[in-house]
Amino acid sequence: MFTGISMFTTAVRQAFKMTPNVVFVLGGPGAGKGTQCQKIVEHFGYVHLSAGDLLREERNKPGSQYGELIETYIKEGKIVPVEITCSLLERAIEESGKKNFLVDGFPRNQNNLDGWNKVMADKVNLQFVLFFDCPLEICTARILKRGATSGRVDDNIESLKKRFNTYSTETKPIIEHYAKQNLVKTIDATRPAEEVYKEVESLFRKGAGDK
Ligand SMILES: Nc1ncnc2c1ncn2[C@@H]1O[C@H](COP(=O)(O)OP(=O)(O)O)[C@@H](O)[C@H]1O
Ligand SMILES: O=c1ccn([C@@H]2O[C@H](COP(=O)(O)OP(=O)(O)O)[C@@H](O)[C@H]2O)c(=O)[nH]1
Ligand SMILES: [Mg+2]
């Protein structure tokens, strides 16, 4: 998918030394990834790409060939095959023409990581991994509260149990993988959003990912 466009834009980006910078944003469901990303966008001009939002958008497109699959995976708290998610991310990066990206909620398992490494790793500069650390009880309370108004098919206790299970068995090892490479910046996400953001802000001010 999108190979023609992407080969061209990758070549143009390389010619102008516009290699995109990427920060992966990870953490359990309800840890506050989306909330903090919004604040980073406001203050630091990053483009926020939520893998979950891109998948929901694709699901909602009339006639999408992946609509049903995405719906089922989201409800079951399972991770959609990487070819779909990675194509959506790649297209969003290329179409934006911008330089700095927050990739929120990805990579969530080994399949995601392998697919990204195969297609994208050489085209972008991974700055660091921002990890919002938050215990299950606090995440649960936040998600159930969000569920009252979000309209999301997975913001309910049954889906949430499955999402937590996926998070601890599949996503945690990915965070550990990046931790071994010293790429993970861990933030205590249990405090009020404004306080969490103070720490996030100082990280970005210091240019945490500049290499
Ligand atoms: N630090 C925080 N304290 C309390 N509630 C929060 C905090 N951060 C986010 N929330 C709320 O919790 C819910 C989940 O936040 P969200 O940013 O969507 O998390 P995620 O993207 O990690 O699932 C939202 O309703 C949000 O308003
Ligand atoms: O790379 C991704 C990101 C999300 N999802 C699916 O989308 C759901 C919701 O993800 P989102 O990041 O929106 O949830 P959050 O953690 O922010 O509550 C996940 O449980 C998965 O089923 C996925 O399959 N691959
Ligand atoms: Mg989110």
> H/E/C letters for each residue in 86-105?
HHHHHHHHHHHCCCEEEEEC
Which of 133, 134, 142, 191 best tests ligand 1's pocket when mutated (most atoms within 8 Å of CB)? 142
**Rounded CA separation 112/28 (Å):** 16
pLDDT per residue as tens digits for the range 5-28: 666 766 766 666 689 999 999 999
Number of other CB atoms surrounding residue 55 within 10 Å: 22
Binding residues: 30-35, 56, 78-80, 105-108, 112, 146, 152, 163, 191
Q: Of 33 and 8, which is predicted with more confidence?
A: 33
ipTM score over 0.90, yes or no = yes
Is the pLDDT confidence value at 40 over 80? yes
174-184 pLDDT, tens digit per residue, is 999 999 999 99
24 beta partners? 103, 129
Output the pTM of the full model.
0.94
Please indicate whether residue 196, judged by its CB atom, sits closer than 6 Å to ligand 1. yes
| pLDDT over 90 (residue 63) | yes
Please report the domains of the chain, with CATH numbers, ordered by start residue.
21-209 (3.40.50.300)
Average pLDDT, the chain: 94
